[in-house]
Chains A and B, each alone.
Chain A
C-alpha cells in the first residue's frame, strides 16, 4: 500500500466542528446576532469546507494505474462444478418443533404496535368528525313579539331567524293563529305550525290570499331575535311545492306523500310576548283551534313515521330539538 497524502487530524473531527459551529450560530442568533452568530457561522463554514474536502478526497485523487492480477487456474477449477444434488447440503435442515419464534414475535409486535398507534390516531379523529353533529344540539327560544300583534282568529305567516348570529341560513317560517283564551281556565292558546313539510322538508306554503290582496298591511316586530315579519293570510290549507303534499289548516295531511301532520312549535307567553319553544311532531289532530286534540310525538325528521308499525323503523333518533 502506498502512503496517501498528508493527513490532518482525524477526519471524524470535521463534522463535529461543523455541528458546534451551527450550534454556536443558533445560540448566537438569540444571544448576540452580530458577533456570536457570525463566529458560529464562520466555524461552521470552515469545518464544513474541511469536511467536504475530506469526504471527497478519495474521489479527487488521481487514479493509479493497476495491472490486472493473473494466475493459472487450478485443475479443480478447470473441472466442471459438481451438480447440486451431489454432496452435503449447504444449509442444515431446520430442527423440528420450534420455528422462528423470535421473528414471529417481532411480526406480531410490529402489527400490534401499528394497530395501537392507528387506534390512538383514529379515535380522536373519528370523534372530531362524528360527535359534533350529535352533541350540544340545543333548542332556541324565539321572541315573536307582543301577543297583541296577533288578533284572535287571524292567521299570520311569521318569518324569523332562529339564530341571528348564523344569519339568513337560520331563517324559518311558522303559521301562527291566536285561538283566544280557552275555557275553563282561560289559558291562552296558539296554533303554531312549522312550514317544514312532513314528506322531505320543503317549505310548505299557505293556500290562500295574503298581505296586499287582503288589503291588510304586513307587520314587522322588533324583538331580541331581530326583526320578525308577520304577513296576514287566509289559508284554506297548506301545500308543498316540491311533491304536492297537502294539509288542512290544522296541519293534517289531506293528500300527497307526507307521512304525518305538520310539526308544531311549543310556545310560552313571557312578559306579554309570544315566545316560540322547540318543535314537536304530530301524527294527526282531531278538532280545531283551542279545542283541538293534538297527538304529540318527539320531533322526528321529515318522512319518518311517528305512529303505526312503520315507526319501528326509527327506534332511536339522534339528539335534537
Chain B
C-alpha cells in the first residue's frame, strides 16, 4: 500500500525559509565562488588530536581585530597636533560616550595582542610547527610580531604627555645608535633633528595606515599558508606518528587512541 503524505504546514514553511536563505547565497556563489571559498576556509579537516593551545593564533587575530576596530573609532576623535593631541585624549576619556571604554580596550588590548603573539610563537616553537614545510610561515609570523611591536612604539607617542614624549625620545635615540644607518633612521623617524609636531603626525600616519596595512597583508599570507599546509598535530600525537598502522586491528587501536587523554599516554 502506497503511503501518500501531504507535507504539514510547518514543513512547507521550513522549506520556504531554506529556499529564501539559499537563493541569495546561490546567487553570490554562482557569480563569485565566495560561498565555496568561505566553506573551504572554515570547514577544513584538522587532526583529531589538536590542542587548546592551537587556538592562540586565532586569539591573537581576534585581539588584532579589536585593535583595528577600536582604533578606527578613536581616530574619529583624536587630533594629531601638538596643541590638540593631549586635550583630545582627555576629551575621549572624560566626555565622549563610552570613550573611556574604547580607549581602555585599545590601550590594554595592545598588550594583549603582543602577549598572545608571543604565546602563539611559543606554542609553534614547542610543537615544532615551524619545521618543514612551515618555515616560511614562521618568518612571516616574526615579521607580524615586529610590525606589532612597532605599532606599540608608534602608538605610545600619540597621547603626547610626558611619558609619551620621553619614551619616544629614548626609543628613537635607541634606533639612532644602530651602526651606519642608525642616525639616518632616527632623523627620519623624528622628521627632523628634534621631536616636533612633525614627529607626532608621522607616527600617527605610520600607526594607523602603514603598519596596520602591512600587518593585514602579512596576516592574509599567514592564513593562506596555514590553509595550504594544514594544521600540525601535537608532538605527542599517535595519529601523526602513524601508530594506527601496527599489527593490532585498526578498529580496536582507534578506540584506544580516542580513549586516551591528550598528552598523557606516551605512545613511544
Contacts and interface: CB of A to CB of B under 8 A. Distances in A.
Interface of A: 130, 132-134, 137, 162, 166-170, 200-203, 242, 300-304, 313-318, 320-321
B180 A315 contact: yes
Contact of B169 (A166, A201, A314): A201
Top 7 closest pairs, chain A to chain B, by CB: A303-B177, A320-B193, A313-B179, A301-B176, A201-B173, A200-B173, A200-B170
Nearest to B181: A316
B180 A170 contact: no
Q: Place the interface of chain B in its size category.
A: 20 to 34
Contacts of A133: 187-188, 190-192
Contact of B173 (A166, A169, A301, A316): A301
Nearest to A135: B192
B196 A169 contact: yes
A132 B198 CA distance: 10
Contacts of B196: 166, 169-170
Contacts of B180: 313-316
A304 B177 contact: yes
B81 to A, nearest CB: 10
B203 to A, nearest CB: 13
A317 B183 CA distance: 6
B82 A167 contact: yes
B199 to A, nearest CB: 9
A304 B176 contact: yes
B164 to A, nearest CB: 12
Given A133-B190, A301-B183, A303-B176, 17 more contacts: A134-B187, A162-B194, A166-B197, A168-B82, A170-B196, A200-B170, A200-B173, A202-B166, A301-B186, A302-B173, A302-B177, A303-B177, A304-B176, A304-B177, A304-B182, A313-B180, A316-B184
Main secondary structure, interface of B, reads helix
Nearest to B190: A133
B208 to A, nearest CB: 16
B183 A318 contact: yes
Contacts of B182: 301, 304, 314
B85 to A, nearest CB: 11
Interface of B: 82-83, 166, 169-170, 172-174, 176-177, 179-180, 182-184, 186-188, 190-198
Contacts, number: 78
Contacts of B82: 166-169
B193 A242 contact: no
14 contacts: A134-B184, A134-B187, A162-B194, A167-B82, A169-B195, A170-B196, A200-B169, A202-B169, A302-B173, A303-B173, A303-B176, A303-B177, A315-B180, A318-B187
Nearest to B191: A133
A313 B170 CA distance: 20
Contacts of B173: 200-201, 301-303
Nearest to A172: B194
Q: Which residue, B170, B172, B179, B182, has most C-beta atoms of chain A within 10 A?
A: B170
Nearest to A242: B170
Contacts of A320: 187, 192-193
A303 B179 CA distance: 11
A169 B197 contact: yes
B170 A202 contact: yes
A84 to B, nearest CB: 30
B204 to A, nearest CB: 14
Q: Which residue, A137, A303, A317, has most C-beta atoms of chain B within 10 A?
A: A303
A170 B196 CA distance: 7
A314 B179 contact: yes
A268 B60 CA distance: 58
Contacts of A203: 166
Nearest to A167: B82
A135 to B, nearest CB: 10
A134 B190 CA distance: 10
Contacts of A304: 176-177, 182-183
